[in-house]
Amino acid sequence: RRVDLLHDRLDWPEVEESGGTLEENALLKARAVAAATGLPALADDTGLEVAALGGAPGVHTARYAGPEARYADNRRALLAALDGVLDRRARFRTVVALVVPGEAELLAEGILEGVITTAERGGAGFGYDPIFAVDGRTLAEMTEEHKNLISHRAGALAALAAGRYLQW
């Protein structure tokens, strides 16, 4: 809710994620908010990278099944693309960008390794959670607390706080 309150008092634009990489999209968003508000801005972008698909859907994760696709459409498209594929290794990768006006721009990443299941399992979570498994359980089968402990987003923020930056 604090972000909503800030947004009500400060005006910043919706930012189109037009970058070709997660790094570019995170920076686009953080730069736009920092420029509009004059305040430090933190933004992220996340992608699902599947080994057998050469890292796809990657930066197109949210639109994998098309620009108007919903979560279920994306899951079905990914399962169809991997039909009969044995190598189901995948990872979620989040890149966070911290932009402080007049200072350096910092990037950090968090990664959660897993596999794509052959069918949906579990009733919790969102997005690709029902088909992304870690240690035999999909993210949709985990408690919110456990999911947050292993989260790629939490990992990216921890890396940023620890000074483990990506070179840009």
11 is catalytic: no
Amino acid at 39: L
Q: Alpha helix (H) ranges present in the chain? A: 2-9, 22-37, 71-81, 144-150, 152-162
Collapsing DSSP to helix, strand or coil, 160 comes out as: helix
Give the Cα separation of 155 and 160 in Å (integer).
9
> Using CA atoms, how far apart are residues 163 and 23, in angstroms rounded to an integer?
17
Cα angle 98, 103, 107; round to 5: 30
- Write down the catalytic residue from 4, 8, 44, 45: 45
CA 56 vs CA 48, 49, 61, 128, 129: distances in Å: 7, 5, 8, 13, 17
| Residues known to be catalytic | 45
